[in-house]
Chains A and B, each alone.
Chain A
Amino acid sequence: MPSIPMNQAIREALHEEMARDSSIFVLGEDVIAHGGPYAVTRGIAEQFPDRIRQTPISEAAIVGTAVGAALCGLRPVAEIMYVDFITCAMDEVVNQMAKVRYMFGGQTDVPVILRLPSGSARLIAAQHSQSLEAWFMHVPGLQVAVPSTPRDAKGLMKSALRGRDPVMFIEYKRLYSVKGEVPDTEYVIPFGQADVKRQGEDITVVASGPMVGKALEAARILSAEGIELEVIDPRTLVPLDTDTIFSSVEKTNRAIITDEEVRRGGSSAELASRIAEECFDYLDAPVRRVAAADVPMPFSPVLEKLAVPSVEKLLAAARDLVA
């Protein structure tokens, strides 16, 4: 299997699906100029010149237009340059994209994909480093995908491009350049199927996005101490594969939830409460959360390192849980 970085994996999914389905249409700020800041859409203009458009800096119009086009037969894939900028279009996301199917009584499909570069990277501070998964999870009608590997990113994007519902596709900027093996044969990864990234008997770690890699690193360290982590990557937060998560917790009797969102009201809060509600009888200890500090992302690398959840914090939480 070839090893490629995640931005290339997403680019391959777009190219392959655009060749398969002529209704797919790409739009966003600077998506032609350099293929966006992270080069995800590079090369699409050469291959599909009539199916990609560079927009003004108008997030509300980008999302609104994508939704309108989706109601009329296109499959728009819109890049929002940084997830932080989706706040300028939350009206269109929350009040139109998420609701038009339901409030119009199921008259229409809404196949819109919003690609949302997220998380900390490159020291770009408070307005370019957020992780807003929980905001999107809270709105009925939005699916939320959070790939952690190139393989998952490509397979999930292909599923999204064949679906009928809106997808908030969370792309962690820190992971764009991280390489991983991707099958060179056709495959898709269905939404709502978690992936057990590592099997273990002692603690279930539900990790998403950049925390998957950190959880696997923590698992290697702890294995030497005789603590075996089971690392589960939900891959999509909506829909959520609770079966896989709950069966793991029933086996390990302990759970840590970890992601790069700020902790208060983060997706970890929802997952922890679901586990507490459904697996209470199996738990030997309270569910732990390892998430970002409840602060805007600071600029200085010294402070950023403190804000973002680390392998060390995972190690401490795991050791505490089995103590």
Chain B
Amino acid sequence: MGIKGPTTEQLLDMYAAMWRIRLFEEQAEYQSGQGKVLGALHTYIGQEAVGVGICAHLTDADYITSTHRGHGHCISKGADVRRMMAELFGRVTGYCKGKGGSMHIADFAVGMLGANGIVAGGFGLATGAGLAAQVRESGQVAVCFFGDGAVNRGPFHENINLGAVWRLPVVYVCENNQYAQWTPQEEITLVTDVASMSSAYGIPGAQVDGMDVLSVYQAAGEAVDRARRGEGPTLLECKTYRFHGHNFGDPQQYRTKEEISDWSGQHDPIQGLGDHLQREGVLTAEEAESIRNSVQEEIAGAVRFADESPYPGPEELTRDVFSTPVA
């Protein structure tokens, strides 16, 4: 296999990062109910192992592109939860000065090239990031996160073909959570194992249990190493499940409560890693609780920061359309 690690330190970081995503989003849903978080909110809860397991192989110099369900990717890549929460609150201290909201959080300083409200919108951006890395021979890697719904859009085909034929340092990561918004994948796609589509592009494909962060870590390590060695893209499919609705407030009439509780009860990725770490003697129950509490405080601090931040002033309306004001 050849993928070393994760080290104990990485394991603990991944455990904390998954809690950071979970608690950030639980708080965001609560604050949405309070009218503080504004607009649409698509949570990543249940899928935490994917972003965390993959970004464990990346540095701030590497790039990721994301989806409308982007909070988990932001946090996995190292974005600051305070500026994220402020963005959800529509405040000027947010990552996008309150001009983006949940679906457009970006942090270019850590290589996070933005959540994206267009399904399949990240393919071109990640492929282009890979092109820039290749042209400059920088050794950087770009990861494109996308859902099973995006597979049926043209940019999936056009960009994976281009990335493959140019051998770009890109990893295309399908987070197959089995629903394109409200529609089950098998109703709209005969080939439900997305990894198998890699053969159409002449690149390796791999499928892993996306609820198991260690499996994701292992497969991602191979794909990222391959990209860094200049051998081109991999199509990595992580089978996963979102525990909450498509968006906050989704009545979820398209799936059963039993299905949801089976996944969240039997396959919770945080529970899974916590149990593993305790079995291995890496973490005690008390230490696990302490990590969770510490993240909880961090999120509470983010809410305070957001709540105390001002809204953007009217001068922000016309700023940033271009680099300089334009008639």
Contact = CB atoms under 8 A, between A and B. Distances in A.
Interface in B112-132: 113-114, 116-118, 121, 123-132
B327 A64 contact: no
Contact of A102 (B63, B99, B158): B99
Interface string A146-173: 0000000000000000011100000000
A239 B130 CA distance: 32
B166 interface: yes
Interface string B91-128: 00011111110001011100001101110010111111
B97 A71 contact: no
Interface residues on B, range: 35 or more
A199 B216 CA distance: 69
A61 B127 contact: yes
Contacts of A56: 158, 161-162, 165
B94 to A, nearest CB: 7
B320 A64 contact: no
A136 interface: no
Interface stretch (A9-17, A89-97, A305-313): A89-97
Interface stretch (A39-47, A106-114, A290-298): A106-114
B276 interface: no
A56 B128 CA distance: 14
Contacts, number: 155
Nearest to B165: A56
Give the interface SS of chain A, mostly helix, strand, loop or mixed: mixed
Nearest to B105: A104
B45 to A, nearest CB: 24
Given A92-B124, A141-B321, A105 B94 contact: yes
Given A60-B124, A64-B123, A65-B127, 18 more contacts: A55-B162, A58-B158, A64-B158, A65-B159, A67-B128, A69-B131, A69-B135, A71-B108, A72-B113, A73-B136, A91-B118, A104-B96, A104-B108, A105-B98, A106-B97, A107-B107, A164-B323, A242-B327
19 contacts: A61-B127, A64-B128, A65-B127, A66-B124, A69-B128, A69-B131, A72-B128, A74-B135, A101-B323, A102-B99, A102-B320, A103-B100, A104-B96, A104-B108, A105-B95, A105-B106, A108-B108, A109-B323, A192-B327
